[in-house]
Amino acid sequence: MRDDFDYDDDLDYSFDDEEEDDDFGMTFEEDLYLMIREKLRDTIQEFKAEYPALKKLEAHVTSFKVNAKNTDDSKFYPLAAKLLLEHIKPLTQDSEEILEIYENMQTDIGRFKNQRAHGHEGEFYLTA
């Protein structure tokens, strides 16, 4: 009786590292949102001593909460990013630095619609 399972033919142990995602099941939207939050957090930490207005931005970002129950990732994370942007928009009048961060975040948020778009990379909105 022949074994139907042939290790050489039935198992493919080749792993394409370029195709593997390290996000452990995260959706593109979740990954992008977390990247935006990380870039925002890192930028605030890096520059808040030099630009005091960023302390106010930090307080605003820390107080930001989204409550959208029963929403799937493809809708929740773009909504959360948009609401975060709207949440910090009033602070853009306080500081040129916050305005620059706001505009740079918009570039990344645009990637929700066009996943192939190149996100913002720059000095005052740090690359993750």
pLDDT in tens, 17-74: 444 445 568 899 999 999 999 999 999 999 999 999 999 999 999 999 988 788 888 8
Q: Establish if 68 belongs to a structural domain.
A: yes
3 pLDDT higher than 60: no
- The amino acid that residue 33 corresponds to is Y
Domain limits for position 46: 33-128
* Rounded percentage of the chain residues whose pLDDT exceeds 90: 53
Instruction: Check: pTM over 0.85? Answer yes or no.
Output: no
Residue-level pLDDT at 8: 46
**Minimal CA–CA distance to 58: which of 41, 46, 38?**
41
Residue-level pLDDT at 57: 95
Residue-level pLDDT at 25: 81
**Total residue length of the chain:** 128
Q: Establish if 15 belongs to a structural domain.
A: no
Q: Establish if 4 belongs to a structural domain.
A: no
Q: Establish if 108 belongs to a structural domain.
A: yes
- Per the structure, the count of domains in the chain is 1
Question: Rounded distance, CA 92 to CA 66, Å?
Answer: 21
Residue-level pLDDT at 80: 94
